[in-house]
């Protein structure tokens, strides 16, 4: 680089820092302050940093964007402690990318890397390591008041004399970054239009029973990604005061047992049986330290745990995060069962649910998926391994539930639903062996404003895809005679950073998934968002409710930490509980859950549509004699995430913004005590993922109890690239049912349920549903949901 160019770059970086540090007058901009900052960084990336560097663009049209930029292209020999100084400006654009990676030689010799100034003391998670490629998750970027300084990578080798070589350093985006700056995350969406009134009707004469109970069962839903004893008791007491409980954690055999973390010798391979663990290890290992140290309330709470990273001596080398070799499946299963048995012995209890392998639906976690092109049956091996682990654990720890596949990347429509067929096959091949299924759902980076992106390739789950996928899986369970509970053991956002838009995407995702999941207790047994109290291995993560106070060197109790914006998630939901009430409204992309505790009605509302709305609850208030209406809000407003504690509002005009989840309460003058009960049931056709060629397709829904029905609804899961631009023709038992497509024609790719009321007089025990859909449409599932009056 010439001296002139150095001076020019230094000037640009100084100017950039001024732009991102000094807000412009609010009246002169439509973007938030953060939006102005991010636009400056975006423009620097494309106009300056990426110039004359190797880049990779993917996608076409509106999906066209920058996927990779080669930050450094030079060969360097690496030793233990080698430091690599990155070009000026790298630290500015790092937060736009999800991963960084190296190509080179002998990269499997690298133990870990440290990233300065962002993560100098902790190694970010590695997502892939082979001899010629090494990929690491970009660490969370702290918030700085001053320029952070040059970015630097320090390499630590597995052996002190280890030597490797890198040839480049590449930044990789989670989703391609469009060359044109995206303003959606930095605006109050829908604020340019008047609010639209939505009437919410709540049946206060009946309680709603789903899966045999009208109790909300708070402990199913209000969890955190922690296991008992993981954090100091001061954090656990804070969570317990807000009625949140341990939900799920991951246990890695390597390095959890293969390194000496305590007063014990590491787990080793058996000398007489290569590939098997020497289970004599458990004679001197205490698996109950953490569990014994948890608060008393958490010792009685069932939670989930997930096995991962089996020891190297029984695993496929380098890839698949400790994926056992098929010849060592039984050895791996015995190790898992021995650990569970030891934990029960040492602490008196273990997890109620054990997942066999974290995110084993993807290649980076289950190495055998890589070899399917070579004739290796990755999914068949996965089902077999789950069955073996379940058998071993059940024998040593009867009553412990075992399941999986702890799926990631639930894009089941990929390759004309090939991924769904793998999931369906897993359901079939684990029948009689495992006790539950588990899945993960994440909103991708750069996916704020889902409804505003419906015609721009939105491909995540919160616009109906989540529900449609759950219905597909449930329908196939019925077909396979293997109906088991589903655990959502992770969900949230893949967005890096702790800026307001980053935090808002996390919060709206957790809240929206929660509201949707609470309506499905007949399917979902446990819901765990990816939210932590604090993360010792990634202390400034945006997924944590607390981060270390920078002025302190020691961080142990909650007093040593400061609450983050994320802590407000716990405040929003701290006492949402009660018995379910039936709800009715006429609005697309809205979710409503209502419960009562006798003295008040609590209503959770999520607005995933594109307009700001006001809820009209005046009819409910009049019927119940409510004397006060209050609202608790956690919302994005004028560029900031704003928490509004419970405050009084107008019952006929309760504000709910785009992407907001809010909790509204009607305070009652007299105790509510519904005298009747109505029961919700879902009845599925067995056929799933049926492709339409334009002709009528017949679905059968049998064994439906059609007596004493209050109401019924037909729900059809639909997928089509290009949206649904032609009407669906639908008949139920010969009666025409009108299906409102809403805005399904406005989607680049529509994948969601469509529904319509069915006259209850039409239904009988065995029902025939005929659907004629636009060519290229896939009918993903068909169900009839009924509300049936029940004598208490």
Q: How far apart are the C-alpha atoms of 53 and 138, rounded to whole Å?
A: 20
- What confidence score (pLDDT) does residue 16 get? 55
123-132, 505-514, 782-791, range with the lowest pLDDT: 123-132
- pLDDT tens profile 62-84: 789 999 999 999 999 999 999 99
Instruction: Report the number of secondary-structure helices (H) and strands (E) in the chain.
Output: 14, 43
**DSSP letter (8 states) at residue 689:** S
pLDDT of residue 30 exceeding 80: no
- What confidence score (pLDDT) does residue 734 get? 96
109-123, 355-369, 732-746, 768-782, range with the lowest pLDDT: 109-123
Task: Tell the residue number behind the tokens 């029984």, with chain if given.
Answer: 314
Q: How far apart are the C-alpha atoms of 771 and 768, rounded to whole Å?
A: 10
Percent of the chain with pLDDT over 90: 86
Please answer whether residues 306 and 354 qualify as being in contact, where contact means their C-beta atoms are separated by less than 8 angstroms: yes
Model confidence band, residue 141 (pLDDT cutoffs 50, 70, 90): confident
334: helix, strand or coil: helix
Instruction: Extract the tokens encoding 767.
Output: 């029902």
- What confidence score (pLDDT) does residue 25 get? 38
Please answer whether residues 527 and 223 qualify as being in contact, where contact means their C-beta atoms are separated by less than 8 angstroms: yes
Instruction: Extract the tokens encoding 265.
Output: 């010798």
Q: Provide the phi-psi class of 309: left if phi over 0, else alpha when psi is between -120 and 50, else beta.
A: left
Q: What angle do CA 659, 405, 495 make, to 5 degrees?
A: 30
- What confidence score (pLDDT) does residue 24 get? 41
- pLDDT tens profile 275-322: 999 999 999 999 999 999 999 999 999 999 999 999 999 999 877 789
Model confidence band, residue 5 (pLDDT cutoffs 50, 70, 90): very low
Q: How far apart are the C-alpha atoms of 572 and 511, rounded to whole Å?
A: 9
- What confidence score (pLDDT) does residue 497 get? 84
Omega before residue 422 within 30° of 0, cis: no
Closest CA to 368 of 386, 355, 380, 354: 380
β-bridge partners, 589:
none
Instruction: Extract the tokens encoding 244.
Output: 């949140």
Model confidence band, residue 538 (pLDDT cutoffs 50, 70, 90): confident
Please answer whether residues 462 and 450 qualify as being in contact, where contact means their C-beta atoms are separated by less than 8 angstroms: yes
- Is the C-alpha dihedral spanning 730, 732, 733, 736 positive or negative? negative
Instruction: Extract the tokens encoding 216.
Output: 């909300």
- pLDDT tens profile 195-242: 999 999 999 999 999 999 999 999 999 999 999 999 999 999 999 999
Segment 712-736 shows an average pLDDT of 97
Percent of the chain with pLDDT over 70: 96
Q: How far apart are the C-alpha atoms of 151 and 613, rounded to whole Å?
A: 45
Instruction: Extract the tokens encoding 13.
Output: 């970086």
Model confidence band, residue 17 (pLDDT cutoffs 50, 70, 90): low
- pLDDT tens profile 588-606: 999 999 999 999 999 999 9
- What confidence score (pLDDT) does residue 218 get? 98
pLDDT of residue 385 exceeding 80: yes
Name the pairing type of β-strands 709-721 and 778-790: antiparallel
pLDDT of residue 365 exceeding 70: yes
Helix (H) or strand (E) holding 337: helix 329-347
pLDDT of residue 485 exceeding 90: yes
pLDDT of residue 28 exceeding 50: no
Q: How far apart are the C-alpha atoms of 68 and 57, rounded to whole Å?
A: 7
Task: Tell the residue number behind the tokens 């100091």, with chain if given.
Answer: 232
Closest CA to 779 of 696, 660, 708, 682: 696
Instruction: Extract the tokens encoding 145.
Output: 């008041």
- Mean pLDDT for all residues in the chain: 93
pLDDT of residue 372 exceeding 80: no
Instruction: Extract the tokens encoding 378.
Output: 């990755």
Q: How far apart are the C-alpha atoms of 68 and 99, rounded to whole Å?
A: 10
Q: How far apart are the C-alpha atoms of 286 and 581, rounded to whole Å?
A: 47
- What confidence score (pLDDT) does residue 501 get? 94
Model confidence band, residue 444 (pLDDT cutoffs 50, 70, 90): confident
Name the pairing type of β-strands 401-407 and 353-355: parallel
- Is the C-alpha dihedral spanning 517, 523, 527, 530 positive or negative? negative
- Is the C-alpha dihedral spanning 747, 750, 752, 756 positive or negative? positive
Using H for helix, E for strand and C for coil, what is the string for 645-710? EEEECCCCCEEECCCCEEEEEEEECCCCCCCEEEEEEEEECCCCCEECCCCCEEEEECCCCCCCEE
- What confidence score (pLDDT) does residue 373 get? 67
- Is the C-alpha dihedral spanning 10, 15, 20, 21 positive or negative? positive
- What confidence score (pLDDT) does residue 291 get? 96
Instruction: Extract the tokens encoding 502.
Output: 């980053």
- What confidence score (pLDDT) does residue 477 get? 98
Model confidence band, residue 4 (pLDDT cutoffs 50, 70, 90): very low
Q: How many residues does the chain have?
A: 792
Distances in Å between the alpha carbon of 534 and those of 6, 98, 226, 374, 546?
A: 40, 21, 9, 43, 5
pLDDT of residue 13 exceeding 90: no
Q: What is the dihedral of CA 566, 572, 574, 580, to 10 degrees?
A: -130
- pLDDT tens profile 500-518: 999 999 999 999 999 999 9
pLDDT of residue 496 exceeding 90: no
Q: How far apart are the C-alpha atoms of 551 and 554, rounded to whole Å?
A: 9
């Amino acid at each position: 680089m010439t001296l002139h160019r150095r001076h020019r770059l230094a000037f640009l970086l100084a100017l950039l820092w001024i732009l991102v540090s000094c807000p412009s007058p609010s009246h002169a901009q439509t973007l938030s302050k953060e939006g102005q900052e991010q636009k400056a960084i975006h423009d620097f990336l494309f106009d300056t940093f990426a110039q004359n560097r190797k880049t990779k663009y993917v996608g076409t049209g509106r999906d066209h964007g920058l996927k990779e930029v080669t930050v450094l292209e030079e060969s360097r020999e690496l030793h233990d402690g080698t430091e690599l100084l990155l070009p000026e400006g790298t630290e500015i654009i790092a937060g736009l990318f999800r991963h960084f990676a190296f190509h080179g030689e002998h990269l499997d010799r690298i133990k870990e890397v440290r990233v300065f100034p962002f993560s100098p003391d902790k190694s970010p998670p590695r997502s892939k390591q082979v001899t010629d490629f090494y990929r690491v998750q970009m660490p969370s970027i702290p918030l700085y008041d001053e320029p952070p300084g040059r970015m630097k990578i320090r390499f630590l080798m597995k052996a002190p004399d280890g030597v490797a070589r890198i040839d480049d350093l590449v930044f990789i985006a989670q989703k391609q970054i469009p060359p044109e700056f995206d303003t959606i995350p930095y605006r109050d969406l829908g604020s340019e239009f008047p609010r639209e009134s939505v009437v919410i009707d709540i049946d206060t004469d009946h309680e709603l029973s789903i899966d045999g109970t009208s109790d909300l069962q708070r402990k199913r839903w209000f969890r955190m990604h922690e296991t008992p004893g993981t954090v100091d008791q001061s954090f656990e007491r804070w969570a317990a005061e807000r009625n949140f409980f341990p939900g799920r954690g991951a246990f890695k055999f390597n390095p959890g047992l293969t390194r000496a973390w305590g007063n014990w010798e590491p787990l080793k391979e058996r000398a007489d049986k290569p590939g098997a663990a020497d289970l004599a290890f458990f004679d001197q290992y205490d698996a109950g330290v953490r569990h014994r140290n948890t608060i008393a309330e958490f010792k009685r709470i069932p939670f989930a745990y997930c096995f991962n990273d089996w020891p190297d001596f029984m695993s496929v080398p380098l890839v698949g995060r400790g994926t056992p070799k098929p010849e060592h499946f039984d050895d791996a299963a015995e190790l898992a069962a021995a650990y569970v048995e030891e934990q029960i012995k040492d602490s008196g209890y273990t997890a109620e649910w054990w997942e066999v392998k974290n995110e084993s639906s993807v290649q980076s976690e289950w190495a055998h998926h890589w070899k399917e092109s070579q004739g290796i049956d990755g999914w068949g091996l996965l089902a077999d391994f789950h069955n073996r682990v379940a058998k071993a654990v059940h024998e040593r720890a009867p009553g412990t539930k075992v399941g999986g596949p702890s799926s990631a990347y639930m894009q089941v429509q990929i390759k004309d639903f090939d991924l769904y067929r793998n999931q369906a096959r897993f359901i079939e091949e684990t029948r009689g062996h495992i006790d539950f299924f588990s899945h993960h759902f994440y909103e991708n980076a750069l996916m704020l404003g889902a409804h505003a992106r419906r015609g721009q390739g939105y491909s995540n789950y919160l616009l109906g895809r989540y529900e449609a996928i759950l219905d597909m899986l449930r329908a196939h369970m019925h077909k396979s005679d293997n109906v088991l509970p589903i655990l959502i053991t992770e969900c949230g956002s893949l967005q890096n950073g702790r800026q307001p838009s980053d935090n808002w995407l996390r919060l709206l995702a957790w809240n929206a998934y929660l509201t949707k999941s609470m309506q499905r207790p007949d399917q979902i047994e446990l819901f765990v968002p990816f939210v932590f109290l604090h993360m010792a291995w990634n202390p400034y993560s945006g997924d944590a409710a607390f981060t270390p106070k920078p002025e302190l060197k020691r961080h142990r109790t909650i007093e040593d930490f400061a609450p983050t914006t994320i802590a407000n998630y716990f405040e929003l939901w701290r006492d949402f509980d009660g018995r379910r009430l039936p709800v009715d409204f006429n609005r697309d992309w809205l979710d409503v859950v209502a419960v009562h505790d006798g003295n008040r009605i609590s209503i959770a509302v999520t607005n995933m549509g594109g307009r700001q709305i006001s809820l009209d609850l005046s009819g409910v208030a009049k019927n119940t004699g409510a004397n006060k209406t209050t609202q608790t809000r956690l919302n994005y407003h004028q560029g900031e995430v704003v928490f509004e504690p419970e405050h009084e509002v107008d019952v006929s005009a309760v504000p709910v913004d785009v992407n907001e989840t809010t909790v509204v309460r009607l305070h009652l003058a007299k105790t509510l005590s519904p005298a009747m009960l109505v029961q919700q049931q879902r009845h599925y056709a067995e056929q799933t993922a049926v492709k339409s060629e334009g002709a009528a397709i017949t679905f059968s829904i049998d064994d439906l109890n059609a007596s004493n029905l209050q109401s019924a609804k037909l729900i059809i899961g639909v997928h089509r690239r290009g949206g649904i631009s032609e009407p669906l023709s639908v008949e139920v038992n010969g009666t025409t049912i009108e299906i409102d497509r809403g805005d399904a024609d406005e989607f680049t790719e529509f994948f969601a349920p469509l529904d319509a009321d069915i006259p209850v007089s039409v239904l009988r025990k065995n029902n025939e549903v005929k659907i004629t859909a636009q060519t290229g449409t896939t009918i993903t599932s068909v169900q009839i949901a009924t509300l049936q009056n029940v004598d208490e």
